[in-house]
Chain A
Amino acid sequence: MEVLKENEEEEQREEEELKALKISDKQHDVERKLSVDQACTPNDVPDFDWSSIDTSQLPSSYKTNSPKEKKLLCIADNFLQQYAHLCPDREPLLLHPINECGVEKFVSTTVRPTLLPYTELFHWEGCASFVSDYLTMEPLKSPIAPPSSLYSPTTILKYQRGNCFDFSVLLCSMLIGAGYDAYCVNGYATHNLCTMDETLEVCPLLRKPQKETEKPKRDPLHGLRVHAWVLVLSGKREVPETFFINPFTGNSHSTTDEQFLGIESVWNHRNYWVNMQDCWNGCKDLIFDLGDSIRWEFMLLETDKPHLLFLDVKEEEELFDRDMDNAEKEEDRRFDMPPSWVAPIQISPREFETRTPQGRKVILYKKAKLEKWAPYLNRNGLVQRLTVYADSHYTKVVEVREWFKNREDKLEMREVNKQTQLTTEHFHPGHLLGLKAHIYTSMEPETERTMEFYNEARVDGLQKRVENANEMTEYFVGRDDFLYFRHVEFGKRVKKIHIAGTRTDINPRPIVQIKECFHRNVEKPADEDVAERVFLTTEERINLTYHLNDKYITASKKNFLKGAESDRKGNEIIMTPEMCTTYQAGSSETDKKQLHLYKLLQKLTEEEKQLKHEVWESAAEVLEILKTREDEAADIKLTVSIYDKERNEERRQEYEAMDNLMEDDLLGQEGQDLDYLAPFLIQTGNIEKMSKGQALCIKDNCLTDFKHRLTHKANIIQAHLQKEVEELQKKDQWYQENQNELSTEDEADFLAYCSETMFRIRVLALRLKREKQMAPQKYLALEEKLRKDPRLNMYLSHP
Chain B
Amino acid sequence: MSQLYNIIEPNVISEEMVQKAVEEQSQDEAQQLAKREGINFKDVTELQLSFRNILQIDNLWQFENLTKLQLDNNIIEKIEALESLVHLLWLDLSFNNIEVIEGLDTLVKLQDLSLYNNRISKIEHMDALQDLQIFSIGKNNLAILEDVIYLRRFKNLRTLNLAGNPLCDNEQYAPFTVAHLPELVYLDFKLVSDTMREAAILKYQYSTEPLKQVEAQALAQLEEKQAKQNELEYHKTAFVEYLNGSFLFESMYGEDAEAAKLAYLPGVDDLLQAYRKEFVSVCENLFNYGLKQHEKREAEVSDFYESLHEALTANQEQGRKIILEFENRNKRTLDEIQNVSSYDIAESKLAEYNEDILQLSETLMTLEMQTADQLEELIKDFERNIAVLVSTFIENVQGMMAQCRDLENRHHEKLLEISINTLEKSIKNELDKDLPDDVRMLFVDETTVVNAVNASHDMHLLKIDSREGDILSNARRWQASVTEKALQNEIDRNRNRVKEIIQYIDHLQEELENTETPEPPE
A120-147 interface mask toward B, CB cutoff 8 Å, 1 = contact, 0 = none? Answer: 0000000000000000000000000000
State whether B496 touches A586 (Cβ < 8 A). yes
Pick the interface stretch among B58-66, B274-282, B498-506: B498-506
State whether B323 touches A595 (Cβ < 8 A). no
Q: How many of chain B's residues touch chain A, expressed as a range?
A: 20 to 34
Q: Tell me the minimal C-beta distance from A489 to chain B in angstroms.
A: 14
Could you say which residues of chain A place their CB within 8 Å of the CB of B323? 553-554
Given contacts A553-B319, A554-B500, contact A595 B511 (CB under 8 A): no
A566-606 interface mask toward B, CB cutoff 8 Å, 1 = contact, 0 = none? Answer: 00000011110000010101101000011110110000000
Could you say which residues of chain B place their CB within 8 Å of the CB of A599? 30
CA distance A588 to B34 in the complex (A): 22
Given contacts A553-B320, A586-B496, contact A593 B43 (CB under 8 A): yes
Q: Tell me the minimal C-beta distance from A531 to chain B in angstroms.
A: 12
Could you say which residues of chain A place their CB within 8 Å of the CB of B493? 551
CA distance A596 to B40 in the complex (A): 11
Tell me, yes or no, whether A169 is within 8 Å of chain B by CB: no
CA distance A588 to B506 in the complex (A): 11
Tell me, yes or no, whether B430 is within 8 Å of chain A by CB: no
Could you say which residues of chain B place their CB within 8 Å of the CB of A572? 29
Q: Tell me the minimal C-beta distance from A173 to chain B in angstroms.
A: 59
State whether B503 touches A588 (Cβ < 8 A). yes
Tell me, yes or no, whether B203 is within 8 Å of chain A by CB: no
Q: Which residue of A lies closest to B510 (CB)?
A: A581
State whether A586 touches B500 (Cβ < 8 A). yes
State whether A593 touches B29 (Cβ < 8 A). no
Contact of A548 among B39, B312, B320, B510 (CB under 8 A): B320
CA distance A596 to B39 in the complex (A): 10
Q: Which residue of A lies closest to B507 (CB)?
A: A583
Tell me, yes or no, whether A50 is within 8 Å of chain B by CB: no
Q: How many of chain A's residues touch chain B, expressed as a range?
A: 20 to 34
Q: Tell me the minimal C-beta distance from B512 to chain A in angstroms.
A: 12
CA distance A581 to B506 in the complex (A): 13
Tell me, yes or no, whether B172 is within 8 Å of chain A by CB: no
State whether A595 touches B30 (Cβ < 8 A). yes
Given contacts A585-B500, A586-B496, contact A593 B37 (CB under 8 A): yes
Could you say which residues of chain B place their CB within 8 Å of the CB of A552? 316, 500
State whether B500 touches A553 (Cβ < 8 A). yes
Could you say which residues of chain A place their CB within 8 Å of the CB of B26? 595
Q: Which residue of A lies closest to B317 (CB)?
A: A553
CA distance A575 to B364 in the complex (A): 35
State whether A595 touches B320 (Cβ < 8 A). no
Tell me, yes or no, whether B220 is within 8 Å of chain A by CB: no
CA distance A751 to B503 in the complex (A): 106
Could you say which residues of chain A place their CB within 8 Å of the CB of B496? 551, 586
CA distance A581 to B509 in the complex (A): 13
Tell me, yes or no, whether B214 is within 8 Å of chain A by CB: no
Could you say which residues of chain A place their CB within 8 Å of the CB of B503? 583, 585-586, 588
CA distance A554 to B26 in the complex (A): 33
Give residues 3-31 of B contacting A (CB, 8 Å).
Answer: 26, 29-30
Could you say which residues of chain B place their CB within 8 Å of the CB of A573? 29
State whether B500 touches A598 (Cβ < 8 A). no
Main SS of the interface on chain B? Answer: helix
Could you say which residues of chain A place their CB within 8 Å of the CB of B43? 593, 596
CA distance A554 to B505 in the complex (A): 11
Q: Tell me the minimal C-beta distance from B175 to chain A in angstroms.
A: 41
Q: Which residue of A lies closest to B364 (CB)?
A: A553
Could you say which residues of chain B place their CB within 8 Å of the CB of A594? 33, 37
Q: Tell me the minimal C-beta distance from A528 to chain B in angstroms.
A: 14
CA distance A583 to B43 in the complex (A): 20
Q: Tell me the minimal C-beta distance from B360 to chain A in angstroms.
A: 11
Q: Tell me the minimal C-beta distance from B25 to chain A in angstroms.
A: 11
State whether A598 touches B33 (Cβ < 8 A). yes
Give residues 534-561 of A contacting B (CB, 8 Å).
Answer: 548, 551-554
Could you say which residues of chain A place their CB within 8 Å of the CB of B364? 553
Contact of A593 among B39, B500, B501, B511 (CB under 8 A): B39
Tell me, yes or no, whether B473 is within 8 Å of chain A by CB: no
CA distance A499 to B40 in the complex (A): 58
State whether B33 touches A575 (Cβ < 8 A). yes
State whether B39 touches A595 (Cβ < 8 A). yes
Give residues 36-92 of B contacting A (CB, 8 Å).
Answer: 37, 39-40, 43
Given contacts A548-B320, A581-B511, contact A554 B34 (CB under 8 A): no
Q: Which residue of B lies closest to A581 (CB)?
A: B511
State whether B504 touches A598 (Cβ < 8 A). no
State whether A574 touches B504 (Cβ < 8 A). no
Contact of B34 among A548, A585, A586, A595 (CB under 8 A): A595
Could you say which residues of chain A place their CB within 8 Å of the CB of B511? 581
Tell me, yes or no, whether B32 is within 8 Å of chain A by CB: yes
Q: Tell me the minimal C-beta distance from B81 to chain A in angstroms.
A: 26
Q: Which residue of B lies closest to A573 (CB)?
A: B29
Could you say which residues of chain B place their CB within 8 Å of the CB of A575? 33
Give residues 109-145 of B contacting A (CB, 8 Å).
Answer: none
State whether B504 touches A595 (Cβ < 8 A). no
CA distance A598 to B32 in the complex (A): 11
CA distance A593 to B320 in the complex (A): 29
CA distance A595 to B493 in the complex (A): 32
A396-409 interface mask toward B, CB cutoff 8 Å, 1 = contact, 0 = none? Answer: 00000000000000
Could you say which residues of chain A place their CB within 8 Å of the CB of B29? 572-574, 598
Could you say which residues of chain A place their CB within 8 Å of the CB of B501? 554
State whether B316 touches A551 (Cβ < 8 A). yes
CA distance A553 to B500 in the complex (A): 8
Give residues 641-694 of A contacting B (CB, 8 Å).
Answer: none
CA distance A572 to B364 in the complex (A): 44
Q: Tell me the minimal C-beta distance from A543 to chain B in angstroms.
A: 10
CA distance A259 to B187 in the complex (A): 81
Q: Tell me the minimal C-beta distance from B426 to chain A in angstroms.
A: 78
State whether A586 touches B499 (Cβ < 8 A). yes
Interface centre among A554, A583, A585 (most CB of B within 10 A): A554
CA distance A599 to B316 in the complex (A): 33
Could you say which residues of chain B place their CB within 8 Å of the CB of A548? 320
Given contacts A553-B316, A553-B323, A583-B507, contact A595 B500 (CB under 8 A): no
CA distance A42 to B507 in the complex (A): 84
Q: Tell me the minimal C-beta distance from A77 to chain B in angstroms.
A: 82
CA distance A596 to B33 in the complex (A): 10
Interface centre among A581, A585, A595 (most CB of B within 10 A): A595
Q: Which residue of A lies closest to B322 (CB)?
A: A553
Q: Tell me the minimal C-beta distance from A662 to chain B in angstroms.
A: 40
Could you say which residues of chain B place their CB within 8 Å of the CB of A583? 503-504, 507
Could you say which residues of chain A place their CB within 8 Å of the CB of B34? 595
State whether B316 touches A595 (Cβ < 8 A). no
Q: Tell me the minimal C-beta distance from A459 to chain B in angstroms.
A: 29
Q: Which residue of B lies closest to A587 (CB)?
A: B503
Q: Tell me the minimal C-beta distance from A550 to chain B in angstroms.
A: 9
CA distance A752 to B503 in the complex (A): 103
Could you say which residues of chain B place their CB within 8 Å of the CB of A553? 316, 319-320, 323, 364, 497, 500
Q: Which residue of A lies closest to B316 (CB)?
A: A553
State whether B504 touches A585 (Cβ < 8 A). yes
CA distance A595 to B504 in the complex (A): 24
CA distance A594 to B30 in the complex (A): 9
Q: Tell me the minimal C-beta distance from B172 to chain A in angstroms.
A: 45
CA distance A595 to B30 in the complex (A): 6
CA distance A583 to B501 in the complex (A): 12
Could you say which residues of chain B place their CB within 8 Å of the CB of A596? 43
Given contacts A553-B500, A574-B29, A585-B503, 17 further A-B contacts (CB under 8 A): A551-B316, A551-B496, A552-B500, A553-B316, A553-B320, A554-B500, A572-B29, A573-B29, A574-B32, A574-B33, A575-B33, A585-B504, A586-B496, A586-B499, A593-B43, A596-B43, A599-B30
A-B contact pairs, 8 of them (CB 8 A): A553-B316, A553-B319, A554-B323, A583-B503, A585-B500, A593-B37, A593-B40, A595-B30
Interface of A with B (CB < 8 Å)?
Answer: 548, 551-554, 572-575, 581, 583, 585-586, 588, 593-596, 598-599
Nearest 9 A/B pairs, CB to CB: A553-B319, A583-B507, A554-B504, A595-B33, A553-B320, A586-B500, A595-B34, A553-B316, A593-B37
